[in-house]
A = this chain, B = another copy of it.
Amino acid sequence: MLELAILGLLMDRDHHGYEVRAHLRDRLGLGANISFGSIYPALARLEREGLVEVAVTSATKVSTLSTGSLSGERASLRSLRVTPGLNRKSRKVYQITPRGREEFAHLLADPATLNDGKNFSMRMALAKYLAPNARVGLLEQRRSSLCARLGEARQYASNDELDTYARSVMEHAVQGVELDIAWIDTLLATERSNQINLAPEAN
């Protein structure tokens, strides 16, 4: 899931790891900060799979005092080496590859990898990259799984063995699911009105 989110960010423009975290939060709606212990390994996996590559390893303000006698090759080696312990700032800027773009399109549209609410929200935040029919497909799948969930939640809330607090938790869960369904419905309504506007003489 993180890999899809990161690929989605890189579809727009290049990013480095530290930047990725902020965007996962404020552009993809992944609420709390995702830990770097997830992000850096995910970037490493994507790189290993050839879906992203390091575009630039910038070492800001390379001191011109000591590099005077270094050949260009040795200087570039120095700036590419990013093992900890190096004495200058390293900043690996990642870029999505053509294969990465393919994989992104495939993953984003794949209904089999749609697991939970966070996953769905993240995909909707990237929905501009989806074909309209794929968008509607994901929305309808999500809607039906939420309806199932609503039935379960209502059942749990009506369990008369629950004390006041536990019952309140269950009722709140029901309200949460209802809110989610209402949201999906507004999104579906928008999709349908767009289809009508774009293809009024269809049929």
Residues in B neighbouring A25, C-beta threshold 8 A? 156
Assembly CA distance A26 to B149 (angstroms):
12
Assembly CA distance A116 to B118 (angstroms):
14
Contact B187–A168 (Cβ < 8 Å): yes
B-contacting 9-mer, from A41-49, A58-66, A158-166: A158-166
Residues in B neighbouring A169, C-beta threshold 8 A? 28-29, 121, 124-125
Assembly CA distance A185 to B176 (angstroms):
16
Residues in B neighbouring A125, C-beta threshold 8 A? 165-166, 169-170
Q: Does A31 contact B (CB under 8 A)?
A: yes
Interface size in chain A (residues, C-beta < 8 A)? 37
Contact A31–B173 (Cβ < 8 Å): yes
- Nearest B residue to A29 by beta-carbon distance? B169
Q: Does A82 contact B (CB under 8 A)?
A: no
Contact A124–B176 (Cβ < 8 Å): no
Assembly CA distance A183 to B165 (angstroms):
12
Contact B124–A165 (Cβ < 8 Å): yes
Q: Fill in one digit per residue for A113-136: 1 if any B CB lies within 8 Å of its CB, else 0.
A: 000100001001111100000000
Contact B179–A183 (Cβ < 8 Å): no
Assembly CA distance A99 to B51 (angstroms):
51
Q: Does A32 contact B (CB under 8 A)?
A: yes
Q: Does A106 contact B (CB under 8 A)?
A: no
CB distance from A170 to the nearest CB of B (A): 6
Q: Fill in one digit per residue for A154-192: 1 if any B CB lies within 8 Å of its CB, else 0.
A: 011001011111101110110110011001001100100
Beyond A29-B156, A31-B149, 9 extra complex contacts between A and B, CB < 8 Å: A26-B159, A28-B166, A29-B173, A124-B166, A125-B165, A128-B163, A168-B186, A172-B179, A172-B183
Contact A175–B166 (Cβ < 8 Å): no
Q: Does A27 contact B (CB under 8 A)?
A: yes
Assembly CA distance A137 to B173 (angstroms):
22
Can you list 7 pairs linking A and B with CB atoms under 8 Å apart? A25-B156, A27-B156, A27-B162, A31-B173, A125-B169, A172-B180, A175-B183
